[in-house]
């Protein structure tokens, strides 16, 4: 029986996140204070007392999610993963929990990722954005994006393959808007632009990849204790240089979460634990594998109820 910890990405930040952990567990308090010391300001004030607007500030959003997820995972004394996987930003927390990079190095990379990515979005040749499309086959969306690009001259890309029929597109704001309008006419259950300025996981982030890549090259990577499934190829990795190279490509490459989930199941993962503030990834796993069964987390710290656990039945493993 193999366990996977799943780390969600940007967007799962919530007011008050982590305050219970800080109050209940000395280990959590120590980790939060290490983040404060490293950043030179109290990110815990933003996490515990900040408004939604505070959490949405570029310098805060990604670091708060990273810190919360790594602390929550490190406080699990009774549940330990055999593999880890992170969705987009979540990959950095996954690398820390696997032991591939240090907590402080992960925080440094995440902060730089946020600032560099925002700068790339602000200086892009056109205004860029992202959109969610639900209810159409992936290959159909991919084909239509190319057609709409050719028809309108507005660049469009796949950003996230989140699950069958659940994807995120990216490109020029106008292109995303036109694509969403077309997909709704063509039978999508939902196709809406997201409140995100930027075209992440696309070639619009080329300059950001180069700048962040230089910082990643200077960062120490070691052989992780457990395999890390990475977004760029959906495969498990333990070689530090492979992990480093994939992380550099990560910022311009689509997130292959659908394939990552299938590959983990194929490789024998039977339990999935979402390490985050909500059930975003949990719902995706449940839709992909409807016969999964929820299990209670006995003998796990109270706050770890935020981690969701599902077990694949033996009949469904074949």
Residues designated catalytic: 88, 201
Distance, CA of 185 to CA of 98 (rounded, Å):
44
Tell me the pairing of strands 156-163 and 166-172: antiparallel
The Cβ of residue 292 has, within 10 Å, a number of other Cβ atoms equal to 21
276 C-beta neighbours (distance < 10 Å), count: 29
Residue 178 structure tokens: 């036109």
**Looking at the DSSP assignment, which residues form a beta bridge with residue 206?**
none
């Amino acid at each position: 029986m193999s366990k996977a910890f799943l780390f969600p990405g940007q967007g799962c930040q919530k007011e008050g996140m982590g305050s219970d952990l800080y109050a209940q567990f000395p280990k959590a308090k120590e980790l939060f204070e290490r983040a404060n010391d490293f950043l030179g300001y109290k990110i815990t004030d933003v996490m515990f007392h900040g408004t939604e607007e505070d959490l949405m500030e570029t310098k805060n959003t990604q670091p708060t999610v990273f810190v919360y997820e790594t602390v929550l995972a490190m406080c699990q004394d009774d549940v330990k993963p055999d593999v880890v996987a992170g969705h987009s930003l979540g990959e950095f927390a996954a690398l820390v929990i696997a032991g591939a990079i240090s907590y402080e190095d992960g925080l440094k990379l995440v902060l730089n990722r946020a600032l560099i990515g925002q700068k790339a979005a602000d200086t892009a040749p056109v205004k860029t954005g992202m959109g969610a499309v639900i209810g159409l086959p992936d290959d159909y969306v991919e084909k239509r994006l190319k057609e709409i690009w050719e028809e309108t001259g507005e660049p469009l890309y796949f950003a996230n393959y989140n699950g069958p029929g659940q994807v995120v597109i990216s490109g020029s704001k106008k292109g995303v808007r036109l694509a969403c309008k077309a997909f709704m006419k063509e039978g999508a259950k939902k196709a809406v632009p997201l409140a995100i300025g930027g075209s992440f996981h696309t070639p619009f982030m080329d300059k950001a990849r180069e700048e962040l890549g230089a910082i990643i090259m200077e960062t120490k990577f070691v052989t992780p204790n457990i395999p890390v499934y990475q977004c760029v190829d959906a495969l498990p990795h333990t070689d530090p240089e492979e992990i480093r190279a994939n992380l550099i490509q990560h910022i311009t490459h689509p997130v292959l979460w659908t394939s990552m989930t299938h590959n983990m199941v194929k490789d024998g993962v039977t339990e999935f634990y979402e390490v985050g503030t909500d059930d975003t990834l949990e719902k995706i796993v449940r839709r992909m594998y409807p016969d999964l069964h929820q299990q209670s987390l006995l003998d796990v710290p109270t706050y770890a109820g935020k981690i969701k656990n599902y077990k694949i039945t033996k009949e469904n493993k074949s």
